[in-house]
Structure 1
Amino acid sequence: MTRYAWWEDLVTDHRDLRAALAAASRRTRDVDEDVGELPPLSVPRSAVDGGPLVETAAMGVLVGGPYLRSHSRGWEIAPGKTLDMRAFLGRQHELTDIIAETMPGADRLMVHVVGPWTFGASVEYKGHPLCFDRPAFRDVALALGEGIREFCDAVGASVVHVHERRLPEITTRLEGATEFETMSVDREIAVNVERRFIGQVCEGPDREAVLDAGAVWPELTLTGATSLVVDELTDDVARVIDGGASVAWRVHGGSSDEVARRVIRTWRQWTFDAATPEPQIDLVAVGDGVLTPGAAAELARTVRGAAELLHRN
């Protein structure tokens, strides 16, 4: 199983990209703790509303993908170039240049993107969620996959964190413009689309994807993701681990000791068919909203310390 030890899933209120990248590097790399692995360094994310969503769209624009514009309900597909996308394209180009200048060849650089189903459920097309129009959704999903791959090639990213938190909603009941307009996608179809997307993004042997789907289904192990992000350490998670999958637990706070004890205590309660010498669970520092640099550093210290305790024990 691929191990990452821990990584960040948070947004800070830095106004300067260079300062944001330097702070992320200090939180992740310039530390004394031995966590057993080289943790991924997360590329800074925008604090603008819908940040990861429009950043993902900006990557898609690189290959002629969708332009977005904001409206009262959120974001919609635009017929051509927009000021919103110009701003985010400029940010992406600046970020690419800074990474090339300050950390060429960085190991395990992580890019955070929105998955195709969450993108399709969150962006409107002709007044309805994009995924309600199957041909348009397919074209946009393919463009996003190619654009993300090109961006990851440009910055040298080796890990992609796919945020797909609306997948459970897609496979049960997604509401459209009104409560009477709904859709539901079969799990097998949803997983197949996800597998195609991850295959595009991770084309080649040197890039991996972690999937945060907001659910723990056995079928998700077939998407090609090297690790599944989970909200709680439940028996469903144990079954996924027993099937050979790697998982990472979302940690919102607490102390390092509390987090490490929770993992070890839960691990000992589970019974596996195969012998596993130590808790095979990574940790994800999840920030609630936009964090100040101090709050981000404190959360990173907590999760980093818990990963060190797990590695030592």
Structure 2
Amino acid sequence: MLQDVTTFSQFPQPEGPPASGVGSMPGTDVREAVKTALGAMEGSLGFLPELPARGPGADMIGRGMGLLVELFARVEPSGWRIGDHPGRDTRRAHAYLREDLDTLEEFAQEWTGPLKVQAVGPWTLAASVELPRGEKALADPGAVRDFSASLAEGLRLHLADVRKRVPGASGIVVQLDEPSLPAVLAGQVRTASGWQRLRAVDPGVARENLAAVIGAVDAPVVVHCCAPDVPIDLLRRAGAAAVSLDFSLLTERSDDAVGEGVESGLVLFAGVVPPLEPGLSDPAGSVTGVRTLWRRLGLDPALLARHVVVTPSCGLAGASPAYARRALLHSVTAAKSLSDNPE
């Protein structure tokens, strides 16, 4: 049975403007990234940053492989591939995550607000990692189930560790990154050879698999997808407490799903701040589209402050460190503008 959707009242609410980062940050300096992610988000939804510029094991897929329990992988020329023992690449992924958590523990001793951690979702993982024989794991339903079960257990252990390291946090939020999910549902994921596409996954199967992972996590789950055609209704029915997306990619075709989601308690992480230079508009202008959507859907403006979290439209790994900090601070200011002036 699919779990009930988490309502906003169960979502850890920041004391200040509802804003956050997507997850990835530029560069390789872990200490600077953690200080920025917490400092810029003070009073809002802080997050544990990811630094993919460090290389394999710090990237989204490698970090996910490092979270798996009793499944191991190595880096091949074609990407990550399942192996039969924890080799150098798995150990490196573990070391990066341990370094990040040690740094978070150091700088978050006084943190009392909510905190978000990110991990790749099961469908994007299956669409990206190869089985030992070389085909994408997505082609094997049994492998997908194994990945999902292993990821769920790994996330459970990860959250327990984070809670020990940051005991003052008012709540932990888990973000599952699923940029490949629309392609998985549309049958657009290419085979390992690149010559063909894998069969589309049935939406019911996709929903149930996500629900199994979300249901195993003792925390509200945000599903992030910065691709077009985010399946908002599917994610809501899978038990996601929130959906994080690139707001510029929303179309009027999504209106019903957004409206129904908000009315049922879904939180919208609205990616409205550009992840790259040049140029940030004034904060009030950044959230104009959110207000327009609310009016078009006929939703109560009072719901904006409780159902919208302002973020960059995607990760900040490609930005300069200075711009990344400005983008996060801009998100906080834009969120305050939205809360103070919802009309």
* Category of TM-score, reference length = shorter chain: 0.7 to 0.9
d(CA) in 2 for partners of 1:140 and 1:260? 38
Please name the residue that 1:247 is paired with: 268
Given the superposition, is the C-alpha separation of residues 276 and 211 from structure 1 closer, same or farther in structure 2, using an over 3 Å criterion? same
d(CA) in 1 for partners of 2:214 and 2:61? 17
1:114 and 1:163 in contact (8 A); partners too: yes
Q: C-alpha offsets along residues 44-75 of structure 1, whole Å, 9 cap, x if unaligned?
A: 20224561211121121xx32x2222222221
* 1:50-89 equivalence runs, <5 A: 51-60=59-68, 63-64=69-70, 66-89=71-94
Please name the residue that 2:167 is paired with: none
| Structure 1 portions without partners, runs of 5+ | 30-37
Q: C-alpha offsets along residues 276-304 of structure 1, whole Å, 9 cap, x if unaligned?
A: 52423221223454322201111112211
Letter in structure 2 aligned against 1:182: L
Please name the residue that 1:150 is paired with: 157
The structural deviation recorded for 1:208 is: 1.2
1:252 and 1:287 in contact (8 A); partners too: no
Please name the residue that 1:294 is paired with: 322
| Cα-Cα RMSD | 2.2
Please name the residue that 1:17 is paired with: 30
Given the superposition, is the C-alpha separation of residues 198 and 170 from structure 1 closer, same or farther in structure 2, using an over 3 Å criterion? same
Q: 1:47 aligns with which of 47, 52, 56?
A: 52
1:121 pairs with 2:127: yes
Moved more, 49-58 or 184-193: 49-58
Please name the residue that 1:277 is paired with: 302
Q: C-alpha offsets along residues 2-33 of structure 1, whole Å, 9 cap, x if unaligned?
A: 4561110143334332232112211111xxxx
d(CA) in 2 for partners of 1:265 and 1:181? 38
Question: SS where residue 131 of structure 1 aligns?
Answer: helix
d(CA) in 2 for partners of 1:243 and 1:146? 28
Question: SS where residue 126 of structure 2 aligns?
Answer: helix
Moved more, 246-255 or 160-169: 246-255
Q: 1:196 aligns with which of 199, 202, 212?
A: 212
1:163 pairs with 2:177: yes
Given the superposition, is the C-alpha separation of residues 70 and 242 from structure 1 closer, same or farther in structure 2, using an over 3 Å criterion? same
Moved more, 301-310 or 112-121: 301-310
Given the superposition, is the C-alpha separation of residues 181 and 169 from structure 1 closer, same or farther in structure 2, using an over 3 Å criterion? closer
d(CA) in 1 for partners of 2:114 and 2:38? 12
Moved more, 180-189 or 2-11: 2-11
Given the superposition, is the C-alpha separation of residues 8 and 154 from structure 1 closer, same or farther in structure 2, using an over 3 Å criterion? same
Question: SS where residue 182 of structure 1 aligns?
Answer: coil
Identify, as 1 or 2, the structure richer in strand: 1
Letter in structure 2 aligned against 1:277: A
d(CA) in 1 for partners of 2:104 and 2:37? 12
Letter in structure 2 aligned against 1:52: M
d(CA) in 1 for partners of 2:102 and 2:192? 40
Letter in structure 2 aligned against 1:23: T
The structural deviation recorded for 1:217 is: 3.4
d(CA) in 2 for partners of 1:15 and 1:141? 29
Given the superposition, is the C-alpha separation of residues 260 and 136 from structure 1 closer, same or farther in structure 2, using an over 3 Å criterion? closer
Q: Percent identity?
A: 23
Q: 1:112 aligns with which of 114, 118, 121?
A: 118
1:230 and 1:250 in contact (8 A); partners too: yes
1:47 and 1:290 in contact (8 A); partners too: no
The structural deviation recorded for 1:260 is: 2.4
The structural deviation recorded for 1:110 is: 1.1
State the TM-score, normalizing by the size of structure 1: 0.86
Please name the residue that 1:209 is paired with: 221
